[in-house]
A = this chain, B = another copy of it.
Amino acid sequence: MPLMPAKPEYPHDHAQCSSDALAEAQRICARRGVRLTETRQKVLELIWGDHAAVKAYDLLEQLSGPGRAVRPPTIYRALDFLLENGLIHRIESLNAYVGCPQPGGQHSSQFLICDACSIVIELTGTDVVHAVADEAASHGFEITRQTIEVHGLCGPCAARHAEEAPVP
């Protein structure tokens, strides 16, 4: 049974959410003495268009216009900058990028990814991080980077799905 695609449902004032993220990004870049140039900011805005992960070549299309053909390096440079400065995350299992809601600091990445509506929810709990750290330590392993990506159905999509295929 194929998943029904849908728009991410996340009841909140997204215009606010997005502009907060942009403002915070500006603060962070100012504090760090790095430049949030027009291209970088534009890419960040596009990524914050909603709470789904965005593909590099979609950004490319969106940035390109009638008079302006943006090339891949432009996008990837902007993405690299945003990644380095902790403003976005890369979702490995999707080859896509999503805004970071707690930008600035290094923090481990744990995501719930809805395969129906594509929403990406970033987790902030420490239990998982600790459990992983313990396991790693027991193997004498020194962690530099954790990637935790959990696929499935978000609450609203799970509900919709159950409705469409009710269990007898």
- Residues of chain A touching chain B, judged by Cβ–Cβ distance below 8 Å, are 92-93, 110, 112, 114-115, 121, 123, 125, 127-128, 130-132, 134-136, 139-155, 158
Contact = CB atoms under 8 A, between A and B. Distances in A.
A118 to B, nearest CB: 14
The interface residues of chain A, by DSSP majority, are classed as mixed
Given A128-B128, A132-B128, A143 B150 contact: yes
Contacts of A144: 115, 151-153
B153 A142 contact: yes
Given A141-B153, A143-B152, A136 B112 contact: yes
Nearest to A158: B142
A5 B126 CA distance: 32
